[in-house]
């Protein structure tokens, strides 16, 4: 018989394990957007992103996404290059989940050895 809790909250309830999600589709880059991998956090919501088009960009998180998008080095993101200085600067507009990264690898959008070599 499970133990009785004094309060009705689920604070002391046993936690359920999260099952890895099965992704049927993932967001792909549109128009000028490129997929990239965050290399380093620079500060002030800026990061160095190594994009898959071979360029390294100093990307920022736009104000609307600043508190909703938590990004660390090694994350796979979609970056949108700026119209001015697009080879050097851009915005991070989306972060992929691990399940979505597997989907992208299976469908050929990113290479299998992305984590170690790129």
Alpha-carbon distance of 83 to 89, in angstroms, equals 9
Residue 73 per-residue DSSP state: T
**21 in any annotated domain:** no
pLDDT along the chain (118 residues), means of 10: 61 65 82 94 92 93 84 93 92 92 90 57
pTM of the full structure:
0.74
**5 in any annotated domain:** no
The enclosing domain of 39 has a CATH number of 2.40.50.140
**29 in any annotated domain:** no
**6 in any annotated domain:** no
**55 in any annotated domain:** yes
| Strand duo 56-60 + 89-95: pairing | parallel
Residue 17 per-residue DSSP state: P
Alpha-carbon distance of 28 to 22, in angstroms, equals 17
Boundaries of domain holding 39: 34-113
**Domain count of the chain?**
1
């Amino acid at each position: 018989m499970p133990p009785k809790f004094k309060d009705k909250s689920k604070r002391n309830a046993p936690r359920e394990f999260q099952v890895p999600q099965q992704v049927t589709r993932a967001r792909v880059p549109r128009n000028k957007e490129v997929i990239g991998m965050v290399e380093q956090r620079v500060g002030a919501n800026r990061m160095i992103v190594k994009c898959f088009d071979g360029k390294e960009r100093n990307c920022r998180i736009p104000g609307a996404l600043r508190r909703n998008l938590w990004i660390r080095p090694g994350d796979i993101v979609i970056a949108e290059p700026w119209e001015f200085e697009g080879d050097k600067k851009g915005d991070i507009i989306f972060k992929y989940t691990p399940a979505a990264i597997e989907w992208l690898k299976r469908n050929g959008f990113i290479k299998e050895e992305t984590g170690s070599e790129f």
